Amino acid sequence: MRRASFVVFALWAAHGLSAQTSSSSLVPAPPMVVVSGEADTSIAADRATLDVAVQTHAPTADQAGRDNARIQRAVVGALRRAGVDSARITTTEYTVSMNMVPNGRDKPMKQDGYIANNRIGVEVHRLDQIGAYIDAALGAGATHIDDVSFTSTAEREARRAVLAQAVTNARGEAEAMARAANGTLGRLVEVSTERPGQVSPFRLAAVVVTNAQGTDVSPHPINVSATVYARWEFVPKP
């Protein structure tokens, strides 16, 4: 885990408002040290999801649907033979709609048959087999691979670790500010984060190479980061 840069907001003292108001009952707010702390780390992906699409075009909706179903069965069968467990293959989207195409300048679109779209989600637990699964799906008639996304089962643990480190980093900055202002930190008033931790997008987080031996997919590490915001009371030295 590496320490990231900090954005230090302010060291401020809220003086009493009694000098600006006729009321003498207002209690001056204590001075505060307000900081933000950041931390991040990288973890290895150990899970992936393939988004496999089958698209068919036919003069009628019925024919487009039947053609699509035939190819979809072939794709699922090929994935199973390649080693994918049936429970990890799901239909994520299915549509049949009119196919509208241009009809010349200043003319309304015209219908050109129907298009059926079937999207298949494939949960992958062996990353070294992603390329083989892609090749199997395309070889069986899949028209395109819409996405390869990566996740990690270590994500939750990593997020908690960077949150803890971000709080430690924030306190270190706050202590330095308090010393520079000839004081120390008092009690912690607030610590929060807009998000428990942010995981950078996984989409396309891979290098895909296709050659005569087949498709090879190499995932990049996943970055996990967190930012916390904290306030401590400032205690001036006597």
pLDDT digits (tens, 9 = 90+) for 59-89: 999 999 999 999 999 999 999 999 999 999 9
β-strand partners of 155 = none
How high is the pLDDT of residue 104?
86
116/57 Cα distance (integer angstroms): 7
CATH number attached to the domain at 2-42+154-200+223-236:
3.30.110.170
Closest CA to 95 of 74, 111, 71, 119: 119
118/67 Cα distance (integer angstroms): 11
How high is the pLDDT of residue 213?
60
| Contact of 136 with 74, CB cutoff 8 Å | no
Tokens describing residue 59: 């003069």
Q: For tokens 């330095």, what's the residue?
A: 176
In the chain, which segments carry CATH 3.30.70.2970?
Answer: 47-151
How high is the pLDDT of residue 125?
94
Tokens describing residue 219: 């995932």
Tokens describing residue 143: 């028209």
CATH fold label, 47-151: Alpha-Beta Plaits (3.30.70)
How high is the pLDDT of residue 194?
61
Residue 164 has phi, psi (to 5 degrees) of -60, -40
Tokens describing residue 15: 């003086």
| DSSP structure class, residue 28 | P
Angle at which helix 61-81 crosses helix 130-139, to 10 degrees, equals 140
In the chain, which segments carry CATH 3.30.110.170?
Answer: 2-42+154-200+223-236
Sites in the chain below the pLDDT cut of 70: 1-25, 27, 194-213
161/159 Cα distance (integer angstroms): 5
| DSSP structure class, residue 27 | P
Q: For tokens 């996740």, what's the residue?
A: 151
